[in-house]
Amino acid sequence: MASFRSRSTEASQAAAERRQREDRAPRLIAEAPHLASLKLEIEEMRQGASVPETVHVKHVAVAHAPALFDLPCLDSTCAGGGHDVTNQVLAALRSRLPKFQGEHACNGMTRTAACTRVLRYVGIATYK
Ligand SMILES: [Zn+2]
């Protein structure tokens, strides 16, 4: 139980740090003032696997969202990982791309080895 408790404390600390980073980040609308809507389709898979393990769609609230696209690694045993695609996404939005995509390999560590999770995203945006 003790180890469970410390893991959940780590998780809540990570969540608190994430909120702080989001609060400190510039607003998305300041970084991409012509953006009207943004949706990210996110697939997460293991390296070498062709079938995504997880697919979800993130609708971004453009008016309020921080200019921060730092997605957590979905491997619960991964430490120090995650997928910060902020620079790639902001570059696409500044170029007013209606659709863009990219990949990001997690560089965290699981208990036994380097994490092999790869995040693939497709962004669909509209502009004013
Ligand atoms: Zn990871």
Q: pTM for this structure?
A: 0.83
> How far is ligand 1, taken at its centre, from the CA of residue 118, in Å?
8
d(CA 77, CA 70): 18
* 31 band by pLDDT with thresholds 50, 70 and 90: very high
- CA–centroid distance, residue 63 to ligand 1 (Å): 30
pLDDT at 102 over 50: yes
Query: Which protein residues have their CB within 5 A of the ion that is ligand 1?
Result: 73, 75, 78, 81, 106, 108, 115, 117
Q: Is residue 18 part of a domain?
A: no
| Mean pLDDT, residues 105-110 | 94
Any domain includes 81:
yes
Would residue 11 count as lying in a domain? no
CB atoms within 10 A of CB 89: 24
For residues 21 and 70, is the Cβ–Cβ distance under 8 A? yes
Could you tell me the two tokens for 55?
């697919």
Between residues 54 and 65, the one the model is more confident about: 65
pLDDT band at 2 (very low <50, low <70, confident <90, very high): very low
Residue 113's domain spans which residues? 27-127
Count of structural domains within the chain: 1
Q: Where are the alpha helices (DSSP H) in 1-128?
A: 2-24, 28-31, 86-94
Q: What is the pLDDT of residue 89?
A: 98
